Structures are given as C-alpha cells and as structure tokens.
Amino acid sequence: MSGGAQPADPVADAVARAFRDERAIVLATLIRQVGNFQLAEDAVQDAFEAAVTAWRRDGVPANPGAWITTAARRRAIDRLRRNRSVADRAERLAELTRLDAQDEEPSMDDESMIVDDRLRLVFTCCHPALEMPARVALTLRALGGMTTGEIARAFLVAEPTMGKRIVRAKRKIADARIPYRVPADEELPDRLRGVLQVVYLIFNEGYAATEGDRLVREELCDEAIRLGELLTRLMPDDAEVWGLSALMLLHDARRAARVDPSGQYVALDAQDRSLWDQDRIQEGLAKLERAVRLRRPGEYQLQAAITALQVQAPDAEATDWAQIAELYGALASLNPSPVVELNRAVAVGMAFGAAAGLDVLEPLLGDQALERYQPLYAAHAELLGRAGDAEGAARAYERAIELSANAVERAELERRLGALE
Amino acid sequence: MAQYMMLVYEEEVDPAEQAEREQVTPMLVDLHASLREAGLLVGVQRLYSTESATSVRVRDGQAEITDGPFAVTKEVLAGYYILECADLDEALKHAARLPMAVAGWATIEVRPVMSPDQWLDTAREAGVDLSDEDVRNLA
C-alpha cells in the first residue's frame, strides 16, 4: 500500500463536509445562545475535533449537523461553567441545559431563525470597528467555511499571522462588546454597504490578485460568490445585494478566458469568448434583472450593467461602448472616484476614438490618489499607442510595469511594450 | 478642595510581561482602600488594552469609525466621559453626537472599561492570590 495514492478516508471527508456545510449555521445559533463569540467558536471547534474521534469509533452519524449542534452545545456548557466573566452566565447556562435536555433537536426547518442568526453574524463580522483585514478573515471563517490556514494561504500571509489577526478581532468583539444583532433601521443602509464592501473585496482579491504569481485565486472568487448568494437569500429586498451578486457572477464567467494555458493574462478584447461560462452569464443577468425590478439603483447594479453589456456583445468591436461610457458617468455622479473616471476614459476611447479618451484621461495624471495606480498608466499607454504616439506609449508602459506587483500582469505589459512601433 | 485627574500612561507589553505587571494588584487593593478611607478617591477604572479601542470622527455629518486608538499628534486629551451603554454601537452613536466631534475638531477614542470582576479575574489568571472582598477595594 505504501507509496500508492492517498487512501480514501470517509470519516475525514465527512468531517470536512460537515465543516463546510454546517459550521456557519451551528456557530451562528450558538453565539446567540451563549452570548459570546469567542466561547461559541471555541465550543464549535471542540465539537469538530471530537467528531473526528467519535465518528471513527461509532461511524458517521445519520445527521452530522445535529450531532455537531449537540456536541458544540455541550462543550459550550462546559466552557461556560469554567468562565466567570461571561455576562448573564447563570441564565445562559439554564437555557443551554434546558435545550440539551430536549429529546430532539429544535427543527432545522425553522428557517427564519437560522436566517436571523446568520444575518447577525454577518453584521458582527463586518463591523466597522474591526480593521478591514480582520473583517475579511472573520467573514471567510465564520460565514464561509474556510479554515485559518486556507485564509492565510489565500492572502499570502503566514498562518500564525492570520491566526493572531482572527484572535485579536474576536477579543475585540468580546471586550468592546461589538453587538450580535442586525443594526437598527436607521443604521442599516450604511452597515449593509460595509458588508457588501467586504464581500466585494474578497472577490476582487481573488479575481485580480494584487500580489503573487497567480492572476486568479479561484477559492476566494468562489467563496465571495457563495457569500453573495447567501446575502440574496438573507436580504432579498435589497437591490444592491442582488446587484453585487450579479456583478461577481458576470465577472467570474470570464475567469477561464482571462489567463491562457501558460498562465499569461489575456486582455478582454483578446479573450476567447467561447470560454466564457454561459450558465454563469445567464445567472448573473437574471440576478441583475431581479435587482433592477426593485427600482433602487446603486453602484453595484451599475457596474453589473456595464459588465453585462461587455459579456453580451459578440466581440469587442460590437460592444456598446457609448452606453458603457454613459453608465460610468452615472456611476461617477453616484460616487465620484478617479478610478471610475479612468474607466470612463477607456470606454470613451473605445466609443469615440483615442483622442476623446485621452481628453478624459489626461486630467487624472495629476491626481495624487492615482499616482501609483498601475491601470492608469496601462490605459494611458494603450490610448497613446492608438493615437500614434509610440514614444509616449512606451514611457507609460514602463511606468505601469514598474508599478505592477503581479508577475502575470507584468509579463503582459512587457509584451505590449515590445509590440509597440 | 479641587479635583485632579491622573492619567496612567504605559507601554503595552506581551502577555508574559503583562502577567508580571498584574502582581501589583494587591498593592492597588491596599492603596485604593486607604485613598477611599481618606475620602480622596472619586473614581478609578481600568481600561482594556488599545486592541479593543475604536476611534470616531465626524466628517461631512457622517461618523467615520476606525479600528484602533487615536494616534497622538498635536491634539491633546481635553476631557472624558464615562457612559453606561448596552454595547459598542450605542457608545459609538453617542460619541458621534458630541458637539466637538460634530464640529470636526475632536476625534473621540472609545475604550471599554473593565468591570471590577474582570479586573480581578485578569489578575487571578496571572496567578495573583486575591479574595472576593478585594474587588470592592480595587474598584
């Protein structure tokens, strides 16, 4: 047997599957019951560790989720007994003991309770009083089913560093009493924007990896899309939630075409459109339609609409760039940003010629916020090249190459620089 | 008589060294008891580490919330409030209502206060031998 393929381990597989499918739900409920994020997480962790041994001994239970729920609750009771500093400890213990004495698990069909618990967890993990990297890590760990090690690898940091970041965030939740609840109506729009921002940041980190030698980190894209879908189930009346989900799907549909077999980046106009995932595109368009029907326009919906125009065109030439430029204009009026203006410049350049594009882009060259923004120089180079200024284009490409931290992207810029004249 | 505020500044240290520092707790218990007996002690509270700090500043009427303590620059400590709040969200809401924050010249650093029980637990975890009676003297 030795030297052969890794033997299948059904118990390890079952635990891994339960971790991915059940952990977030069990955790969300337990946090509400014990009133302490750290303690609940520790108890859930204990339960998964116990599962490995128990399931190897007794076989995998028929309902792994129920097994984990019971085990986690018992571990929480043990931990609560030892921990004097938890608020309302006696009441919490009484309630948990009562739940434990019930013959059967409270019905998992109680969908609305599960939804509420998961929403609370979303808002706790994405609380603005936590630093952004901690929000991202907590969200991936508590809501997605990623382990600390997986998150560390996805963000290219050492596992102990990521572990410390998560521990610190959980300690702050406990010490500063970051609440475990859905924000009040007047705070909700603002806080929901913050949640969407965290999910989109996870997606972008996966889709256009800013560092490292891989252009796309699929595991982060997949996790962000899953989180986006979870949010549409939890908050179906919010148009931007649908908009973000649509946007991520429409971008992700092009994933396979963005990198060639040798790992080289492929620009949008050079992509093999037959590689685009049509199912994803249809799914994204359906979600965008659903968003638009709610009649509350927003940034993610506008960006999704732009992407929809790009993916529906038969080729780059036939893309409705004038319409895209207009949508970027609408986006800029909603949230003025030099990056949006840069995108508008590119669209204007495609719709009305390089000179028109340069008119929009050139004022941005003096913008401090974009001073080290690689895409600005890459776009400038492209427009200059098309306008016939090879010398200016070369200078701009050199600046873009200097600023690029991604090996695949840098290689593409170097190829374009070489292709000038 | 006049009142004076004494602000305790210290460098934050690793858990091992912090455990060493907790050893002063019995001395604090005695000191606080004698200050209280002399009628001098108006209040004493311990804060959680700056890792649990949140800063609030108001810009264009919008509260900007950031993780972490206020970075010392030219601004100086001008006063303090102690509010009883259900959770951090409530505390942040009140911080953003303070007129000096609304006017934009002040940043409000929000720090959770450690309960006397938690203070005692922290010292006990570091191996300090204390009775429940000591809580009352400590804080």
Classified as helix, coil or strand, B6 is: coil
pLDDT of residue A107: 58
Share of chain A above pLDDT 90, in %: 61
Q: With contacts defined as CB-CB under 8 Å, which chain A residues touch B87?
A: 177-179
Closest residue, chain B, to A133 (C-alpha)? B67
pLDDT in the model for residue A4 = 45
CA-CA distances (angstroms) from residue A299 to A23, A132, A189, A348? Answer: 32, 20, 13, 19
How many Cβ atoms sit within 10 Å of the Cβ of residue A114? Answer: 16
- Is the pLDDT at A3 greater than 60, yes or no? no
Distance from CA of B54 to the nearest CA of A (A): 6
Q: How far is A389 from chain B (nearest CA, A)?
A: 43
Closest by Cα among A178, A188, A168, A303 to A234: A188
Contacts of B86 in chain A (CB under 8 A): 177, 179
Check residue A213 and give its pLDDT.
65
DSSP string for residues in B88-134: HHHHHHHHTTSHHHHTTS--EEE-PBPPHHHHHHHHHHTT----THH
* C-alpha distances out from residue B59 to A6, A190, B67, B104, Å: 58, 15, 17, 7
With an 8 Å Cβ cutoff, are A85 and B118 in contact?
Answer: yes
The C-alpha atoms of residue A246 and residue B3 are separated, in whole angstroms, by: 61
DSSP A412: H
* pLDDT of A158 above 70: yes
Confidence (pLDDT) at A210: 58
Structure tokens that stand for A303 in this block: 């960006």
Spell out which residues of chain A touch residue B88, defining contact as CB-CB under 8 Å.
127, 129, 176-179
Tell me: the pLDDT tens digits for A209-229?
656 667 678 888 999 999 999
Residue A106 confidence (pLDDT): 57
In this predicted structure, the answer to whether residue A6 has a pLDDT above a threshold of 70 is no
Closest by CA to A184, choosing from B57, B89, B84, B83, is B89
Contacts of A346 (CB under 8 A, 6+ apart): A357, A361, A379, A382, A383
pLDDT at A378: 95
Instruction: State the DSSP string of A69-131.
Output: HHHHHHHHHHHHHH-TTSTTHHHHHHHHHHHHHSSSPPPTT-HHHHHHHHHHHHHHHT-TTS-
Q: Are A260 and A204 in contact (CB under 8 A)?
A: no
CB contact under 8 A, B54 and A179: no
A378 C-beta neighbours (distance < 10 Å), count = 23
pLDDT value of residue A7: 60
Instruction: Compute CA B22 distance to the chain's CA centroid, rounded to the nearest angstrom.
Output: 16
Predicted confidence band of residue A9 (pLDDT cuts 50, 70, 90): confident
Q: Could you tell me the pTM of the whole model?
A: 0.83
- pLDDT value at residue A364: 95
pLDDT, tens only, A346-378: 999 999 999 999 999 999 999 998 999 999 999
User: Distance between CA atoms of A393 and A413, rounded to whole angstroms?
Assistant: 11
Q: Looking at beta carbons, which residues of chain B come within 8 Å of A177?
A: 86-88, 112
**Residue A154 clears pLDDT 90, i.e. is over it:** no
- Residue B36 burial class via C-beta count within 10 angstroms: exposed 0-12, middle 13-18, buried 19 and up: middle
Backbone angles phi, psi at A332, to 5 degrees: -65, -35
Partner-chain contact A179 B86, CB within 8 Å: yes
CB count in 10 Å sphere of residue A281: 19
Question: How many whole angstroms separate alpha carbon A133 and alpha carbon A196?
Answer: 14
Q: Has residue A65 got a pLDDT over 80?
A: yes
Q: How many whole angstroms separate alpha carbon A289 and alpha carbon A312? A: 14
Q: Nearest by CB to B51, from A172, A178, A179: name it.
A: A172
Q: B54 - beta bridge partners?
A: B67, B110
pLDDT at A289: 97
**How close B33 comes to chain A (CA, Å)?**
24
Give me the mean pLDDT over the A11-17 stretch: 90
Q: What is the pLDDT of residue A1?
A: 41
pLDDT in tens, A134-152: 999 999 988 887 888 888 8
Neighbours of A142 (CB within 10 A): 25
pLDDT attached to residue B75: 83
pLDDT tens track for B15-45 = 899 999 999 999 999 999 999 999 999 899 9
- Mean pLDDT (chain B) is 89
Burial environment of residue A125 by CB neighbours within 10 A (0 to 12, 13 to 18, 19 or more): buried
* Chain B residues lying within 8 Å of A168, measured CB to CB: 51
Please compute the mean of the pLDDT values over residues A10-30 and round it to a whole number: 89
- Please list the residues that pair with B47 across neighbouring strands: B113
Share of chain A above pLDDT 70, in %: 94
The pLDDT assigned to A421 comes to: 66
How close, in Å, is residue B76 to chain A by CA atoms?
Answer: 23
pLDDT for the residue numbered A353? 95
Task: Give residue-wise pLDDT tens across range A108-138.
Answer: 557 778 888 889 999 999 999 999 999 999 9
> Taking Cα atoms as reference points, which of A38, A113, A129, A40 lies closest to residue A76?
A40
3-state secondary structure of A142: helix
Look at A175 and B54 and tell me if their CB atoms are within 8 Å: no
Write the pLDDT tens digit of every residue in A306-340: 999 999 988 878 899 999 999 999 999 998 899 99
> What is the rounded average pLDDT of the residues B74-91?
89
Q: Is A372 helix (H, G, I), strand (E, B) or coil?
A: coil
A250-299 confidence digits (pLDDT tens): 999 998 898 888 877 787 778 899 999 999 999 999 999 999 999 999 99
The stretch A69-93 carries a mean pLDDT of 87
Cβ count near B13 (within 10 Å): 12
Ranked by mean pLDDT, the top range of A36-40, A391-395, B97-101 is: A391-395
The pLDDT tens digits for A86-110 are 767 888 888 888 888 886 655 555 7
Residue B109's beta-bridge partner residues? B55
